[in-house]
Amino acid sequence: MTLVVQKYGGTSVGDADRIRAVADHVARTCRQGNQVVVVVSAMGKTTDDLIRLADDVSRTQPPRELDMLLTAGERISMAVMCMALADAGIDAVSFTGSQAGIITDTAHTRAKILEVRGDRLRQALDEGRVPVVAGFQGVSTARDVTTLGRGGSDTTAVALAAALGAEACEIYTDVTGVFSADPRVVPQAQRLRRLSFDEMLDIAASGGRVLALRSVEFARNHHVPLHVRSSFTWEPGTWVVEEEPTMENAVVTAVTHDTSEAKLTVSGVPDHPGLAARLFRALADQSVNVDMIVQNVSQHGTTDISFTVPTTDVPTTLQTARAFGAEIGAKEVVADAGIAKVSLVGAGMRSHPGVSATMFETLAAAGINIEMISTSTIRVTCVVRADAVERAVQALHTAFGLDGA
């Protein structure tokens, strides 16, 4: 018998009708002779609503209590899903993250999975039952309830698939797969049939929002094939798999964009060894997630350092960078929220030179100024003005032949 893990996101379980539709699909999968483990997210925007409630109630929000609150969303989903499955003639049993044996570290609101003790799930499967697990949550080594960070249900599903040795992890969502660009920006974007883990990682990291980044890392490290597909049409979607040496890779697979970062510039930094180290250590100590970094050629013994951070980290970053700037006599620290990143991702870039050149030419022809550049083996990213980013994505999608026939 084949074991599959099926994860259903918030929109897939958004209301009673959706939940019944999912239960029917799970029942169908079982009748086809498969074993199924179901992982559910909170219904619709429940997690956002709970966060708003916490904001209304409290300025302090002890992280332990915030986690306790947020895990309630997935608890509702798992219980009603089991009820709907019972109506569909399936013997289902719900498990919280803790009951499912998902052991995490103690970092509340962004805990990491340390171990999965799946024995209760295995036992349920052996008894012919369908385990329905609350996503996004676990229990810490200090025996407190934790959450895995926003979008964490994907990670729960992949971790369970790895621990139980599932054939595949199906991620059901409200889109039909991973696309060559955001279809809201590029209507002619194509659904990708098959991607490597590395490509999916770079797509997720550079703005493609279909899968949580950590779940892709987990899938790559544990060799879990992912199938991203729609719970509205049930058609086959996008497979994310190990790269095969024989695969003929497209030079550019996808154009992604991200408007969630801001650019910080510290100007007039004395050009001495160790100052960048101090700045970025101070930011790291505040858990600021620095992305791109550019340091200018020094002039008159000082230099400018620019870097990008998530917009949500701007207040902390400004405070930290300004304190640092005052200490070392830097000129000023400014934040610029009007930027966006546009990226090209493709495994074929490894063996095809000239991708960056074509990218820069395309942006130049569209009259779009490039403010920062970074590259990895299979990705090129440019920072541009936020109000130009959609035009940039469209121009690049066409220039790299992704518009399709």
118 binds, among Mg ion, ligand ASP, none (CB under 5 to 8 A by kind): none
Do 40 and 84 meet the contact criterion of CB atoms below 8 Å apart?
A: no
Binding to ligand ASP by residue 153, rule CB under 6 A?
yes
Binding to ligand ASP by residue 150, rule CB under 6 A?
yes
Of 47 and 317, which CB lies nearer to ligand ASP in the complex structure?
A: 47
- In the numeric block, the tokens 């570290």 are attached to 105
Give the residue among 206, 210, 252, 208 at the shortest CA–CA distance from 383: 206
Binding to ligand ASP by residue 10, rule CB under 6 A?
yes
- Under DSSP, the state recorded for 152 is T
Interface region with ligand ASP, contact rule CB under 6 A, candidates 146-154, 254-262, 321-329, 366-374: 146-154
Instruction: Please state the closest distance from residue 155 (CB atom) to ligand ASP, in A.
Output: 8
152 binds, among ligand ASP, Mg ion, none (CB under 5 to 8 A by kind): ligand ASP
Of 97 and 325, which CB lies nearer to ligand ASP in the complex structure?
A: 97
Number of residues that bind ligand ASP (CB under 6 A): 13
Instruction: Please state the closest distance from residue 229 (CB atom) to ligand ASP, in A.
Output: 16
Task: Burial-class residue 33 by CB neighbours within 10 Å (0-12, 13-18, 19+).
Answer: exposed
Enumerate residues 36-75 that contact ligand ASP by CB under 6 A. Answer: 41-42, 47, 73
Of 46 and 303, which CB lies nearer to ligand ASP in the complex structure?
A: 46
Residues 6+ apart with CB under 8 A from 182: 189, 208, 256, 257, 393
173 binds, among Mg ion, ligand ASP, none (CB under 5 to 8 A by kind): none
Alpha helices in 286-388 (DSSP H): 314-328, 355-365
Of 44 and 101, which CB lies nearer to ligand ASP in the complex structure?
A: 44
Whole-angstrom distance, CA of residue 253 vs CA of residue 260: 22
Binding to Mg ion by residue 9, rule CB under 5 A?
yes
**Coil, strand, or helix at residue 347?**
helix
Do 51 and 71 meet the contact criterion of CB atoms below 8 Å apart?
A: no
Of 10 and 118, which CB lies nearer to Mg ion in the complex structure?
A: 10
Enumerate residues 12-51 that contact Mg ion by CB under 5 A. Answer: 41
Task: Burial-class residue 56 by CB neighbours within 10 Å (0-12, 13-18, 19+).
Answer: exposed
Residues that bind ligand ASP (CB under 6 A): 9-10, 41-42, 47, 73, 135-136, 150-154
